[in-house]
Amino acid sequence: MGVMSGRIPPAASLVAELGRMVGREHARAPGAAELTDATEVAGLRGRADAVVAPATPEEVATVVAWCYEHDVALTPRGGGTGYAGGAVPDGGVVLSLRRLDRVRALDPGLWRMEAEAGVTTATVARRAREVGLRFPPDPGAAESSLLGGNLATNASGPHGFRHGPVRAWVTGLEAVLAPGELVRLGGPVRKDVAGYDLVSLLVGSEGTLGVITAAWLRLVPAPEATAALAAAFADARAGQGGVEAVLASGVVPGALEFLDAGTLAATGRDERFLLLVEVEGGEAEVRREGDEVARALAEAGALRVEARAPADLWRWRAGVSHAVASRRGGKLSEDVAVPVDRLAEAVDGVLAIGARHRLEACSWGHAGDGNLHGTFLLDPRDAGERARADAAAQELFALALALGGTVSGEHGLGVLKRGQLARQWAPAAVAAHRAIKAALDPKGLLNPQTKQP
Query: Is residue 237 within the footprint of a copy of itself (CB under 8 A)?
Result: no
CA 206, distance to chain mean position in Å, is 10
Query: Is residue 301 within the footprint of a copy of itself (CB under 8 A)?
Result: no
What b/e sequence results for 68-101 when a residue is b if at least 16 CB atoms lie within 10 Å of its CB, and e otherwise? Answer: bebbbbbbbbbbbbbbbbbbbbbbbbbbbbbbbb
Query: Is residue 438 within the footprint of a copy of itself (CB under 8 A)?
Result: yes
Binding residues among 201-220 for a copy of itself as defined by CB under 8 A: 201, 203-205, 209, 220
CB of 411 to a copy of itself, least distance (A): 7
Binding residues among 378-437 for a copy of itself as defined by CB under 8 A: 404-413, 417, 420-421, 424-429, 432-433, 435-437
CB of 329 to a copy of itself, least distance (A): 28
* Among 68, 148, 7, 86, CA closest to 447: 86
Distance between CA atoms of residues 142 and 128, nearest Å: 14
CB of 265 to a copy of itself, least distance (A): 27
Binding residues among 244-263 for a copy of itself as defined by CB under 8 A: 244, 247-248, 250-252
Nearer to a copy of itself, 27 or 199 (CB): 199
CB of 187 to a copy of itself, least distance (A): 6
Binding residues among 263-282 for a copy of itself as defined by CB under 8 A: 281-282
CB of 270 to a copy of itself, least distance (A): 30
Please provide the DSSP assignment of 35-70 as one string.
Answer: G--TTGGGT---B-SEEE--SSHHHHHHHHHHHHHT
Query: Is residue 284 within the footprint of a copy of itself (CB under 8 A)?
Result: yes
Distance between CA atoms of residues 112 and 135, nearest Å: 9
Query: Is residue 32 within the footprint of a copy of itself (CB under 8 A)?
Result: no
Q: For a copy of itself, which stretch binds (CB under 8 A), given 23-31, 196-204, 293-301, 313-321?
A: 196-204
Nearer to a copy of itself, 7 or 191 (CB): 191
Among 2, 319, 339, 384, binds a copy of itself (CB under 8 A): 339
Q: For a copy of itself, which stretch binds (CB under 8 A), given 32-40, 93-101, 106-114, 294-302?
A: 106-114
Binding residues among 146-185 for a copy of itself as defined by CB under 8 A: 153-154, 156, 160-161, 164-165, 167-168, 177, 181-185
Distance between CA atoms of residues 298 and 304, nearest Å: 7
Distance between CA atoms of residues 149 and 166, nearest Å: 11
On whether the CB atoms of residues 11 and 49 are closer than 8 A, the answer is yes
Dump strand ranges (E) for 168-254. Answer: 170-177, 181-186, 211-218, 220-221, 225-233
Binding-site size for a copy of itself (CB under 8 A) equals 94
DSSP letter (8 states) at residue 31: P
Query: Is residue 129 within the footprint of a copy of itself (CB under 8 A)?
Result: no
CB of 358 to a copy of itself, least distance (A): 28
Distance between CA atoms of residues 160 and 369, nearest Å: 8
Q: Max CA-CA distance within the chain?
A: 69
Within 13 Å of residue 420, how many CA atoms lie on the same side as its CB? Answer: 26
Binding residues among 302-331 for a copy of itself as defined by CB under 8 A: none
